C-alpha cells in the first residue's frame, strides 16, 4: 500500500509539473510499463487508475467551480441595489359650487418605481419612474379614453456624494430634501432639479441638527439670459424630550431670481396664474419668502392611541401687493394635529390627521402648493381631514377629504370646492 501511495504521488507530481493532459495519456502508458516490469500488479494498477480518475474529477470540479463563480460573481454595486415602489388605486369625487359644472367622479391610478445603488462607500446613484404627465404636481393617471394606455415618465434621476455619514451632495433631479410638516408650500409629488447639500448631525443623544442648502432650476430659456431659479436655506433641530416627547423645528429662507418679469408659467402646466401678474401675463414679484415649520409629538402613549402630535407651517413673502382691500396678500399658515400610529405599515395600524390652512394670493408661488387643495391655487383656505388604516402588511386604505374656498372673492365663478378621495395603496 505504501508503494502504491508513493506511485500515486509521483504521478500527480508528474502531471502537475509537466501539464500532462490526463491519466489516460502519458500517465496510462507509465502505469502499463510499471505492470510490465512487475513493479505493480494488475490489481494495483487498476486501483491506481481509479484513484487517479477520482483525483482528476475533483480537480476538474474545483476548476469548474472557480470559473463558474467568476462568471456568476455579482458586482458590489448590484448587491447594494435597493428597489422600492407602490401602486395606488383611487376613487375621487369632486363637488364645486358656483362653477357651472356638474360634480365630477373619477377613477385614478398611480405607479411609482425607484432604484438606488451604493456604487461605493461615498457615491450613490438612483432613479425613479412614475405615471404622470408634464404636470410636476401629479403622478395620477385618470381612467378614461376607452382603456387607453397611460404615460410613464422619469420621476427623478440623481447622483449623491457622501464624504461623511452626516452630509451629502445631491445633483440632478431628486426627491425634495426640504423638510415640512405638511404640504402648504410643497406638493409631495414635486422632485426639484439642480443641486443640494444636506446634513443631519447627532450633537448628543437627545439633539440632532439638520439642514439643506439648495439651488433649484425653474426654467431654461434658449433665447434669454435671465433663467428663473430659486435658492433655499433651511436649518433645523430635532430634540428628544423626557416622556417620549419630541420637538422638530426648521426655519427656511427662499430667494427667487428672475421670476419677476417672466411669463414662463402663465397659463401653462407649471402655474395657474393666481399670483399677481401684469397685463402681459408676466410675474409682478419674485416672491422671496421666509417660512417656518414646527412639530411637537409624543411617540409612546399608553392605551389605544400610541402616538399624537400637533404641527404647523408659516410663510410670509416680501411682496407689496396692496390689494383692493388695502392689505398685502403675502402671508400663509397651516395648523393641524394627528394621532394613532406614527407609521401605518402593518395590519391594524391607523392614523387620523387634520389641518386647517390659509394661503394668501402672493404669499407663495402658485406652482408649488398641494395640487389637491383647491386645485393647487393660492388665495385659498379650508379644511383637510385624513384617515389611513393598514389592512395587511404594506397594504393600506385611506380617505382624504377637502373643504375649501377662496379667501378673497373675485366675483367670477367664486367656487367652493369639496373633494373626497378613497385610496388603496400596495407598497413593495
pLDDT, greater one: 286 or 51: 286
The region of weakest confidence among 24-38, 76-90, 120-134, 353-367 is 24-38
Predicted confidence band at 1 (pLDDT cuts at 50, 70, 90)?
A: low
pLDDT at position 48 is: 74
pLDDT at position 274 is: 86
The region of weakest confidence among 90-104, 193-207, 304-318 is 90-104
19 pLDDT more than 70: no
17 pLDDT more than 50: no
pLDDT at position 4 is: 54
pLDDT, greater one: 49 or 279: 279
Instruction: Please state the rounded mean pLDDT for residues 196-211.
Output: 97
381 pLDDT more than 50: yes
154 pLDDT more than 70: yes
Instruction: Please state the rounded mean pLDDT for residues 380-393.
Output: 98
pLDDT at position 22 is: 46
pLDDT at position 18 is: 46
Instruction: Supply φ then ψ for residue 368, to 5 degrees.
Output: -115, -30
235 pLDDT more than 60: yes
**pLDDT, averaged across the chain:** 88
With a pLDDT cut of 90, the percent of the chain lying above it is 67
Q: Are 403 and 94 in contact (CB under 8 A)?
A: no
With a pLDDT cut of 70, the percent of the chain lying above it is 86
| Residue-wise pLDDT tens digits, 245-272 | 999 999 999 999 999 988 876 545 455 6
The region of weakest confidence among 137-146, 324-333, 351-360, 390-399 is 324-333
pLDDT at position 334 is: 98
| Domain ranges (residues) in the chain | 2-72, 84-427
The region of weakest confidence among 21-30, 72-81, 365-374 is 21-30
Instruction: Please state the rounded mean pLDDT for residues 154-181.
Output: 98
354 pLDDT more than 50: yes
pTM for the whole structure: 0.81
Instruction: Please state the rounded mean pLDDT for residues 349-373.
Output: 96
pLDDT at position 270 is: 56
Predicted confidence band at 185 (pLDDT cuts at 50, 70, 90)?
A: very high
| SS3 annotation, the chain | CHHHHHHHHHHHHHHHHHCCCCHHHHHHHHHHHHHHCCCCCHHHHHHHHHHHHHHHHHHHHHHHHHHHHHHHCCCHHHHCEEEEEEEEEEEEEEEEECCCCCCEEEEEEEEEEEEEEECCCCEEEEEEEEECCCCCCCCCEECCCCCCCCCEEEEEEEEEEEEECCEEEEEEECCCCCCCCCCCCCCCCCCCEEEEEEEEEEEECCEEEEEEEEEEECCCCCCCCCCCEEEEEEEEEEEEECCCEEEEEEEEEEEEECCCCCCCCCCCCCCCCCCCECCCCCECCCCCEEEEEEEEEECCCCCCCCEEEEEEEEEEECCCCCCCCCCCCCEEEEEEEEEECCCCCCCCCEEEEEEEEEECCCCCCCCCCCCCCHHHCCCEEEEEEEEEEEEECCEEEEEEEEEEEECCCCCCCCCEEEEEEEEEEEEC
Q: Are 333 and 311 in contact (CB under 8 A)?
A: no
Most confident among 23-27, 48-52, 101-105 (mean pLDDT): 101-105
Instruction: Please state the rounded mean pLDDT for residues 359-366.
Output: 95
pLDDT at position 189 is: 96
Query: The domain 84-427 is classified under which CATH number: 3.30.2270.10, 2.40.128.50, 2.40.160.10, 2.40.128.30?
Result: 2.40.160.10
pLDDT at position 272 is: 66
Amino acid at each position: 500500500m505504501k508503494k502504491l501511495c508513493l506511485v500515486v504521488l509521483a504521478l500527480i507530481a508528474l502531471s502537475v509539473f509537466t501539464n500532462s493532459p490526463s491519466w489516460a495519456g502519458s500517465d496510462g502508458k507509465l502505469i502499463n510499463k510499471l505492470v510490465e516490469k512487475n513493479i505493480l500488479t494488475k490489481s494495483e494498477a487498476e486501483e491506481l487508475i481509479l484513484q487517479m480518475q477520482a483525483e482528476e474529477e475533483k480537480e476538474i470540479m474545483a476548476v469548474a467551480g472557480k470559473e463558474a463563480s467568476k462568471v456568476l460573481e455579482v458586482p458590489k454595486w448590484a448587491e447594494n441595489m435597493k428597489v422600492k415602489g407602490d401602486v395606488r388605486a383611487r376613487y375621487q369625487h369632486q363637488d364645486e359650487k358656483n362653477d357651472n359644472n356638474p360634480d365630477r367622479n373619477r377613477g385614478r391610478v398611480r405607479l411609482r418605481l425607484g432604484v438606488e445603488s451604493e456604487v461605493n462607500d461615498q457615491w450613490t446613484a438612483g432613479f425613479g419612474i412614475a405615471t404622470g404627465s408634464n404636470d410636476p404636481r401629479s403622478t395620477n393617471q385618470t381612467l378614461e379614453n376607452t382603456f387607453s394606455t397611460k404615460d410613464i415618465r422619469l420621476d427623478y434621476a440623481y447622483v449623491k456624494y457622501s464624504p461623511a455619514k452626516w452630509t451629502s451632495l445631491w445633483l440632478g433631479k431628486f426627491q425634495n430634501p426640504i423638510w415640512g410638516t405638511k404640504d402648504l408650500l410643497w406638493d409631495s409629488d414635486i422632485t426639484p432639479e439642480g443641486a443640494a447639500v444636506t446634513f443631519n448631525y447627532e450633537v448628543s443623544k437627545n439633539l440632532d441638527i439638520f439642514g439643506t442648502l439648495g439651488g433649484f432650476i425653474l426654467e431654461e430659456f434658449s433665447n434669454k439670459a435671465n433663467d428663473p431659479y430659486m435658492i433655499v436655506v433651511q436649518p433645523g433641530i430635532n430634540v428628544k424630550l423626557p416622556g417620549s416627547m419630541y420637538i422638530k423645528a426648521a426655519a427656511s429662507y427662499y430667494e427667487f431670481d428672475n421670476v419677476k418679469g417672466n411669463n414662463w408659467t402663465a397659463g401653462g402646466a407649471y402655474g395657474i396664474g393666481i399670483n399677481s401678474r401684469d397685463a402681459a401675463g408676466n410675474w409682478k414679484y419674485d416672491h422671496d419668502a421666509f417660512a417656518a415649520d414646527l412639530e411637537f409629538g409624543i411617540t409612546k402613549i399608553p392605551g389605544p392611541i400610541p402616538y399624537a402630535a400637533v404641527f404647523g407651517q408659516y410663510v410670509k413673502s416680501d411682496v407689496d401687493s396692496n390689494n383692493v382691500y388695502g392689505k398685502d396678500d403675502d402671508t400663509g399658515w397651516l395648523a393641524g394635529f394627528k394621532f394613532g400610529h406614527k407609521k401605518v405599515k402593518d395590519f391594524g395600524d391607523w392614523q387620523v390627521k387634520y389641518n386647517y390652512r390659509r394661503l394668501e394670493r402672493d404669499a407663495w408661488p402658485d406652482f408649488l402648493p398641494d395640487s389637491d387643495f383647491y386645485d393647487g391655487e393660492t388665495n385659498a383656505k379650508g379644511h383637510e381631514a385624513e384617515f389611513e388604516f393598514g389592512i395587511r402588511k404594506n397594504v393600506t386604505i385611506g380617505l382624504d377629504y377637502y373643504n375649501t374656498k377662496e379667501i378673497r372673492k373675485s366675483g367670477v365663478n367664486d367656487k367652493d370646492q369639496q373633494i373626497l378621495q378613497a385610496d388603496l395603496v400596495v407598497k413593495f
